[in-house]
Each structure stands twice: as C-alpha cells, then as structure tokens.
Structure 1
Amino acid sequence: MSKITKVLTTGKTRTTGTDVFAGNHEGKLDIHLTAPGNPAVREHRFEAIEAHPTAEQLFAGAWSACYSSAVGIVAKQMNVALPASTAVEIEVDLGQGGSAYFIQARLNLIVPGIDPEVATAIAHGADAICPYSKATKGNIDVVLNVVTA
C-alpha cells in the first residue's frame, strides 16, 4: 500500500447508543456537517451554497454504523455487556503520497470499564466480520485502537 505523506482533509464520526450496538438502526440519520480547513474559509465556503457532507464523512459514517453493529454482535457472542457509554469513532483521511491520492483510516472503539484484553478481542472480532472492514483490508492503511479508560 502507498503511504499518505500529506493529509488534505479528514472525515470524522462518532457512533453511540445502546440501540446501535444491539443492531437497531431504526429512525432517522442525523449528520452534523463541518467544513475542513481554515475557520475563516469555512464561513465563506458555506455562505453561498448549502452545506453537504464530504465523501470522507459519508464513508466514515457508513463504516461506523456497520462496525458498531459488529461490535454488538461480537460482544453478545462473548457474553460481554457493553457499557452505555460505548462509542465508535472513525476518522477517514484523504491525502497525497507524491502526486497520487489515497485514503487511510483510524477506528477507535471506546468501551470504558471493560478489561483491555476483552475489549481488544471485541474490536478485532468486529473488524473481522464488518463488511466495510473486509472491503478496506489490504487496500488502505487502517489503525484499530481500543480505549478502556
């Protein structure tokens, strides 16, 4: 895989809620939009046009929803009760390596109070069954982090 040497923009998401980790995605999609870059430029960028999500935000959001469900499935298989404060944060960078463009990602599973070894097993188990994780494996650089504190 080629490496990003300059990050141009990052799409970030945070998925929370016990229903999500139980695989219940009923209801509406709520996306909060921000523009990347300089705050002064952001104001001008959204002045004349309607705000819209970036491809990186959309990809991170879809991956986050899928990965969160996978976390719930793996935790249930392991008989582990996830805390109400469980969250998945995904960041997808668009960047350049030389003259080529690439994406890379960071997946952060936040499970306060769970034993770190158990949390790591859940994170890797979810990564193994999540279709988005499977699709990116070997195609982009992905870092999987677990936060238990």
Structure 2
Amino acid sequence: MEQHKAIYTAKVQTIGSSNGTARSVDGRFKDLLAPPDAEAPDTRPEQLFAAGWSACFEGAMQLAARKMNVLLPPGFAINTEIDLQDATDGYFLGARLKVSLPELERNVAQAIIDAAHQTCLYASATRSNIHVALSFS
C-alpha cells in the first residue's frame, strides 16, 4: 500500500458539542460554538465548514485556471451556504457554492468551476453524501 505524507494536521479539541468551545491545540484558533437556535453571536459548526470549503474551492479554482492559462479576475469570490437539515431519520447537510467570476466568458467560468468541483478536497470528501448546488455570476 502506498504511503502518504501529511503536509498539515489540524488538531482541534471541542468541549460541549455545538454549545461549547472549539480550540486548536497550538492556540491559534479558539471559538465559542452555538446550537442552531441560539441568538448569541457565537459560531455555528456549519459556518466553520463553509469557511473551509470556500477556501479549498478557491484554491482548486486557482489551480484549474492556471492549468487552463486563464487569469482569474481580481476580487472573484465564493459565497458558500451550508444547510443543516432535519429529516425523519436524522440530520443531514446541503451545500450551495455561489461563485462570482466577473469578466470571464460563461463557458470558461463553467469549466473552471467544474474542474474545481472535481479537485476540491471538501467536494471529494462529501461527494455522494451531500447535495451540492454550484452556480456563478
């Protein structure tokens, strides 16, 4: 079996579930977590997931654009929405990634987004178990 070398390991400890605290072992990250019905300004775990997915997708788009010899427009953005949904047999997630690629031709933008969706680690990790909707403007 092929050996893989980790290039980074995130180490986070949570205490108190989604009504507690998450902190990285190195102390660089600490956040209070809140349940879905909380009105407090604390962070929902789904927000952290959306932030990670957006960052990963942006990196995958940059890689795809480089391979296609396309310069991404300045200020391109990804708005990621993660839904926590309730079903009779438990909770599940849904995701919507809305990509803003001003100034790019529609077919070029679509090719970059499609390639990013194939290579983004979050998209790969959730493939077939989270409904994902991609759109762009």
* TM-score with structure 2 setting the length: 0.70
Partner deviation per Cα, 1:27-62 (whole Å, 9 max, x = no partner)? x98x9xx9976xxx73xxx3xxxx431110000001
Runs of 4+ in 1 over 2 A off after TM superposition: 34-37
Select between 73-82 and 96-105 the one with higher mean Cα deviation: 96-105
Aligned counterpart for 1:113 among listed residues 73, 85, 103: 103
Q: Partner amino acid for 2:62?
A: G
Residues 84 and 92, structure 2, Cα contact 8 Å, conserved in 1: yes
- State the identity %: 37
* TM-score with structure 1 setting the length: 0.65
2:114 is equivalent to residue 124 of structure 1: yes
Give 1:144's aligned residue: 134
- What's the offset of the Cα at 1:98? 2.4
Relative distance call for 1:85 and 1:63 in structure 2 (3 A) is: same
Give 2:8's aligned residue: none
**Which residues of structure 2 form unaligned runs of 5+?**
1-27
Give 2:75's aligned residue: 85
Aligned counterpart for 1:65 among listed residues 30, 49, 55: 55
Give 2:90's aligned residue: 100
Partner deviation per Cα, 1:90-143 (whole Å, 9 max, x = no partner)? 100001122521110001111001001110000010010111000111011110
The alignment of Structure 1 onto Structure 2 pairs a total of residues equal to 108
Q: Partner amino acid for 2:118?
A: A
Give 2:65's aligned residue: 75
